[in-house]
Amino acid sequence: MSTVDPWISPGLQTNDLKALYEISRLVTSGESLRPIIDQLIRLARSIFIFDNIAMFTKQTEEILEPIFARAIGRGRWLEADLTWGETVAKEVYITGQFTSRIEALPGNEQDRNLLRYYLGLPVYISGSMGGVLVFTRFGGPPYLEDQIELANRLAFHLAQLIEYRRLNDRLTRLEERCKLGDMQEDFISMISHDLRTPLGLIKGYATTLLRGDAAWDGKTRHEFLMIINEEADRLQEMIDHLMDSSRLQAGTLSMNMQKVCLDHLIREFVKQALIRDAKIALSLEIKETNNWVQADSARIGQVFDNLLSNAVKYAPGSPIIIELGQENMMARVVVRDFGPGIPPEHMENIFRRFYRLPGHDVHIRGVGLGLYICRQIIHAHHGEISVISQPGQGAVFQILLPLDHQA
């Protein structure tokens, strides 16, 4: 009667080839690394018996770091220990040759777990020694020649997997850098265009006023100086927006939170806005009073300012209504205009950095940062800002801020 020894693999069988084929297919699949390694180990175990597998990769010239270890078979009752086979790994790394050795740990001689048969194989990544693969069998038996060949094939596939992943990561990083580079170029050309416009006007009018060969009457001088003044304000606003936006990105925009009465803040805001520009048809409706919130009043004022100047800019001549009320324990501020409104497909995007609706009149200036900054400020107050709009029927911006109950 012949007995079949399960440890001995009589050359490569069809099933071995199938498993190896499946392994090489896995290596180039787009799945993430961990599940692939798990599947790879499962497939490897179907053609080659082992209790533990550990992979070490080269971190620097001298340092080998374990990147994974799995205990299977008998070893699964023990905790997979990353240090199993570490000495074997170091030896293989130094010699560049596979090694097979037995380690007998002190303790009960009957305990098979203390008798470890190691097989260490070099893993060549991109043509040079990049790591070591170590198999462990508890209590034997020793590794036979054709098993070592199978193990070598597994090491080769693992090396391919690591190489493929590294290349993929490098490619992703490169793509990201290119994208960032493109974005930076777009950004620089957009910003320089937007900064140049007011700067050009300031320079042009100032040079004109300074010409020695022309005598300007008082009215013209005043008109030119007004333009210079307005354009300088615009420039200042753009630079402030850019600074705020980069501080928000870096998380360094500080907030000075205090207990604030929104009724008072908004009344004062409307009063000042009408003093600055008496022509705007701005009205205030306070539906509920005593709206106390925790806020940085300067930053919240900046949000109202931005919503109001957008309404003036994008809905010229339209009445603008600011409402203050409450909704679900939140203070609710609404800025409503009756201008062209915002098409539904753009409604969420307008809160993104540098997003502007296409096709604006060239005279309507802006860089698309105002609403992004508003949303970040409102989020820093644990509130929400949103827009509702029907094209042609105006835009309604709503801000919700948590009421301060201790008021």
* Binding residues for ligand ADP (CB under 6 A): 306, 310-311, 314-315, 337, 339-340, 342, 350, 355-357, 366-372, 395
Among 242, 246, 245, 270, smallest CA distance to 333 is for 270
Amino acid at 33: L
Decide whether 107 or 392 has the Cβ nearer to ligand ADP: 392
Amino acid at 307: L
Decide whether 114 or 190 has the Cβ nearer to ligand ADP: 190
Residue showing the smallest CB distance to ligand ADP in the complex: 366
CA dihedral for 272, 275, 281, 285, sign (positive or negative): positive
Burial class (CB in 10 A: 0-12, 13-18, 19+), 332: buried
Decide whether 282 or 342 has the Cβ nearer to ligand ADP: 342
Joined tokens for residue 296: 């940085």
Burial class (CB in 10 A: 0-12, 13-18, 19+), 207: exposed
Decide whether 383 or 394 has the Cβ nearer to ligand ADP: 394
Amino acid at 340: P
Q: How far is the CB of 244 from ligand ADP (least distance, A)?
A: 12
Q: How far is the CB of 282 from ligand ADP (least distance, A)?
A: 13
Decide whether 142 or 343 has the Cβ nearer to ligand ADP: 343
Q: How far is the CB of 371 from ligand ADP (least distance, A)?
A: 3
Burial 91-102 (b: 16+ CB within 10 A, else e): bbbeeeebbbee
- Measured between alpha carbons, how far is residue 222 from residues 204, 208, 234, 276, 279 in Å? 15, 13, 18, 18, 20
Q: How far is the CB of 257 from ligand ADP (least distance, A)?
A: 24
Decide whether 130 or 366 has the Cβ nearer to ligand ADP: 366
Q: How far is the CB of 200 from ligand ADP (least distance, A)?
A: 19
Q: How far is the CB of 131 from ligand ADP (least distance, A)?
A: 51
At CA 305, angle to CA 301 and CA 309, rounded to 5? 175
